[in-house]
Structure formats: C-alpha cells, structure tokens
Amino acid sequence: NAGVTQTPKFQVLKTGQSMTLQCAQDMNHEYMSWYRQDPGMGLRLIHYSVGAGITDQGEVPNGYNVSRSTTEDFPLRLLSAAPSQTSVYFCASSYPGGGGEQFFGPGTRLTVL
Amino acid sequence: AQSVTQLDSHVSVSEGTPVLLRCNYSSSYSPSLFWYVQHPNKGLQLLLKYTSAATLVKGINGFEAEFKKSETSFHLTKPSAHMSDAAEYFCVVKNSGGSNYKLTFGKGTLLTVNP
C-alpha cells in the first residue's frame, strides 16, 4: 500500500494564479481531510469529506475548493492564490471505526509570491 | 467545544535523559486523545492514542502517555531520549463519539536532543 500520496511536493505560485493540490489514498478510507500547517499554529482543517460526493468546510476554508468524485481522490483547489496561502498542506484519511486515527500524506510546501 | 494546549513550544534534553512533553485538554465529552510526531520535512505519524481504555497508554519507540481526567492532562514521556527522537510533537483531541475528521491540534512542541 502506498498509503496517502500528495503531489506536488513543492510549488511556487504568483499571486492570482490557480492550482490544484492532488491527494490520493489506497486504503479505501471514507474520510479525507485537508489541513494547512503554519509555524506555531499546529494544523488547521480546511475542508473534509465523509465520502464520495460529500464535502464540507473546516476551520479555514476561504480561498479553497474541494470535490470528491471517487473514494480514492480528494483534490484541493486554490482559485486565486494569495501570499497568505503560503503554507505546508497535508492531506489525511481515516475510517469510521478507526477511533479517530488519521493517516497523513507527506505534505505539499506551497509558496505564493 | 474542545481545545488542547501544549505547555511548551520547545523542549531541549540531552541524549539518555527523560523526556516530558506536556499537554492539557478541554473537552465537553469524554475525549479521545492522540500524540503525533512529525520529523523534519515529513508527514505526521501516530505515536499513541487514548480512547477510554487503560489510562496509561504505550506507543511506538518507547513513548507513553497517561490520561489524567482530574488534571485534564495527557503528558507524553519517554525514559531515555535518543537522537532520533528530535522532531515536533502534536497533542490532538477528539470528542468521544465525534466525527473522526474533526480533530483539534495543539500548536506543537519541538523536541531537541543534544548529544
């Protein structure tokens, strides 16, 4: 099993550009989440999904869109990048009976100039 | 509402000495509690979790944590630090019965291990 994979690992954008961060998992987990990590802030939930076709907002959703057409994939879209979105982004997956344990991808480091 | 406070942003120890990383939590319900570790430029890995069974929880790499309801604490300990323990550690809380995707993370404690 590859677990949770994320691409790209690094990305530099200019203000106003759009892009999609990819996330995939091969564990057949129903739940998937996107977090951003900023220094001294821990991880903050951006969006989450409880299954294909079902998504909802987390703590910091502004400027991001998600969709979930399959169980395996959960892409995160930046519509018009801003310097405040410079961060490390983590995708995670979990399953209902897992007691809350989440499985994390390796992260995408995004810089917006 | 739930919250978690990691009392130290940075802890520095010498190799072979004990490690103590402190975490206090606030939860409206019986919580599930976790410690995750993040090595430099890596994703997060689960160290251990408490889900209302034994209050002393053993995890990977010799770490353990004790759930103390009266003190609302879930401190992480290890008897003897190793250089490979240098990483950032996150305490995480989830309300019992709450959704598995709604975790609340502490701000992290950076552990430095000196030779």
Nearest CA in chain A to B39: A106
Q: In which element (H, E) is residue B38 found? A: strand B31-38
Any chain A CB within 8 A of the CB of B53? no
CB pairs under 8 A between A and B: 65
Higher pLDDT, B73 or B30: B73
How far A83 CA sits from the closest chain B CA (Å)?
Answer: 21
pLDDT of residue B99: 65
Please tell me which of the candidates B32, B43, B99 has its beta carbon nearest to residue A104.
Answer: B43
Asked if B31 contacts B52 with a C-beta cutoff of 8 angstroms, the reply is no
pLDDT of residue B63: 97
Asked if A17 contacts A41 with a C-beta cutoff of 8 angstroms, the reply is no
For the record, the structure tokens of A41 come out as: 């802030």
Q: What is the mean pLDDT of residues A1-19?
A: 94
Examine the pLDDT at B101 and tell me if it is beyond 90. no
Residues of chain A above pLDDT 70, percent: 99
Q: What is the mean pLDDT of residues B109-113?
A: 97
